[in-house]
Homo-oligomer: A and B are copies of this chain.
Amino acid sequence: MPDSLFTIDAMRAIFSARARLARMLDFEAALARAEAHIGVIPQHAADVIAAQCDVSRFDVDAIENASRNAGNLAIPLVAALTRNVAAVDAGAKGYVHWGATSQDAIDTGLVLQLRDALAEIDADLARLADALAAQARRHATLVLPGRTWLQQALPITLGVKLAAFVDALDRHRDRIASLREHAMVLQFGGAAGTLASLHDKGLEVSEALGNDLRLAVPGMPWHTQRDRLCDIAATLGMLTATLGKLARDVSLAAQTEVGEIDEPAAPGRGGSSTMPQKRNPVGASIALAAAVRVPGLVATMLTAAVQEHERGLGDWPAEWETLPQIVLLTAGALDAMAEVAEGLDVHADRMRANLDITNGLIFAEAAQMALAPAIGRDAAHSLVASACRRASAEGAHLRDILEADPKVSCVLDRHAIAKLFDPAGYLGASGAFMERALARHP
């Protein structure tokens, strides 16, 4: 379980040791009810069992400790549940966990946790995308330097820069929606995935159990076919990468020498234990840390999916803490960036100033494309590149170098040259791209 520094309390609650047992008990209760409904076990026994499937009646630590000898949590949990049921009704205890195997309880319990978790992720994703869309609208025409290879390239708008994130996040929402539709499925197959223990009642019990838990019933059990879980892991991995990119861009923009964007200020936020002047981008730090950590965990899930025969040996247990960690870290990164996006502190003056620091070099492509119709793109590239080198060497403005060059002045007059250096005049489809992305945003 990641520290609270790296995740959010709501997700820590979903994946706590206690909640994990609670969801497994939800499975056991629903199983008893479903089997009573189909007539496999007596209704009375089901009632007694379901009543005992309350996690507050269990010693969570004791069950955890017993798991090392047993090999999984379900064995000591079922044993404890059986004891508790027996204490109430000796006749009912014989019907606990009827026909199920440990993995049915563990996997279905996990799916129930994931169902809650994905709902939370989806809500936070909407919150972040909405915040970024609102910021994009607010700063639709604010011009700042676009940067490639960490160097100034061309002017762009903050609107289009942020809209690109909205566009990507909306794709992630579609992916999450698909997971919620396709990956939230019941696990119920008994010892080897055949439901042999239920003889000819297996399918009926499955349906009733799925209904009870409001989980789709898959075509067959998936004890060692783990692609749906990998899909969750990979989808969150992709989302975290997008969050990491957002955090990277924010932290680069927040550099002392750039100063275009700051994270929202709050008392004590982002201070230093020794440097009084510091306002560290702590939200970005959380998201970047997640973006560094999650890829290795996704790789673990993929490696772990090679599970032997009808139940894996070490691969399956390798998932138990890995997938929750992915979810927890993603949630932490999402929340951190939503907070940043909502309170984004934009410094338009620094953006304007940064557009000026190259002595016009950021408009080199504009100049090239203005010359190209007359002299060809390649010749214009060479001419302007040479002018850029002169401008740098002499500390001169590119405009002045170009104006003084007869090869330029015979093509472009003074006014045309001056227009090339207007940031608002070289934005191309920035506005249209932004509008497209925001129009699609729900």
Q: Quick one: which of B269, B271, B305 contacts A244, CB cutoff 8 A? A: B305
- Chain B residues closer than 8 Å to A222, beta-carbon distance: 164, 168
For the complex, is A344 an interface residue (Cβ under 8 Å from B)?
no
Cβ-based interface call for A310 (8 A): yes
Q: Type the 1/0 row for A234-253, where 1 means its CB is closer than 8 Å to any CB of B.
A: 11011011101101110110
* CB contact between A227 and one of B242, B279, B314 (< 8 Å): that residue: B242
Q: A64-B4, A191-B153, A289-B315 are in contact. Are A270 and B71 (CB under 8 A)?
A: yes
Contacts of A68 in B (CB 8 A): 4-5, 282, 286
Question: Would B317 and A268 count as touching, CB distance under 8 A?
Answer: no
Complex CA gap A387/B88 in Å reads 29
Q: Is the Cβ of A313 less than 8 Å from the Cβ of B285?
A: yes
> Is the Cβ of B244 less than 8 Å from the Cβ of A237?
no
Chain B residues, Cβ within 8 Å of A377 = 94-98
Known contacts A197-B369, A220-B163, A296-B299; A364/B277 CB under 8 A: yes
CA distance A315 to B227 in the complex (A): 21
Is A410 interfacial (CB 8 A cutoff)?
no
Kindly state whether residue A112 has any CB partner on chain B within 8 Å. Answer: no
Residue from the list B96, B191, B276, B321 in contact with A272, Cβ < 8 A: B191
CB contacts (< 8 Å) of A196 on chain B: these are 154-155, 365-366, 369, 426-430
Taking a contact as CB atoms under 8 Å apart, the answer to whether B6 and A321 are in contact is yes
CB distance from A319 to the nearest CB of B (A): 9
B contact residues around A235 at 8 Å (CB) = 234
Q: Which 3 A-B pairs have the closest CB atoms?
A: A94-B376, A288-B314, A296-B296
Q: Mark A156-169, 1 if CB is under 8 A from B, else 0.
A: 10001101110110
A-B contacts, 27 of them at CB < 8 A, read A5-B64, A5-B317, A68-B282, A70-B270, A93-B376, A94-B378, A97-B273, A98-B377, A101-B272, A147-B308, A148-B309, A149-B251, A149-B312, A195-B428, A196-B366, A196-B426, A219-B433, A225-B242, A238-B302, A242-B305, A245-B306, A248-B306, A256-B357, A277-B365, A277-B398, A281-B313, A289-B314
Beyond A95-B377, A191-B365, list 5 extra A-B contacts (CB 8 Å).
Answer: A3-B320, A91-B376, A150-B308, A196-B427, A277-B398
Q: What distance in Å separates the Cβ of A435 from its nearest Cβ neighbour in chain B?
A: 10
Given contacts A241-B226, A245-B306, A256-B152, contact A274 B102 (CB under 8 A): yes
Select from chain B the residue with minimum beta-carbon distance to A66: B268
A245 and B69 contact, CB distance less than 8 A: no
- Chain B CB within 8 A of A19 CB: no
Cβ of A309 and Cβ of B4 under 8 Å apart? no
The answer to whether the Cβ of A348 comes within 8 Å of any Cβ in the partner chain is no
CA distance A3 to B361 in the complex (A): 32
A:38-77 near B, CB below 8 Å: 64-75
CB distance from A71 to the nearest CB of B (A): 4
Question: Are A273 and B101 in contact (CB-based, < 8 A)?
Answer: yes
Is A142 interfacial (CB 8 A cutoff)? no
Smallest CB gap from A153: residue in B: B192
**Whole-angstrom CA separation of A291 from B308 in the bound complex:** 13
Q: A311-B149, A427-B196 are in contact. Are A289 and B317 (CB under 8 A)?
A: yes
In the complex, what residue of chain B is closest to A171 when comparing beta carbons? B227
Q: In the complex where A5-B68, A302-B294 touch, is A369 in contact with B276 (Cβ < 8 A)?
A: no
Given A234-B234, A245-B305, does the pair A300, B310 have CB atoms closer than 8 Å?
no
**A301 vs B316: C-alpha distance when bound (angstroms):** 21
Q: Is the CB of B299 within 8 A of A148?
A: no
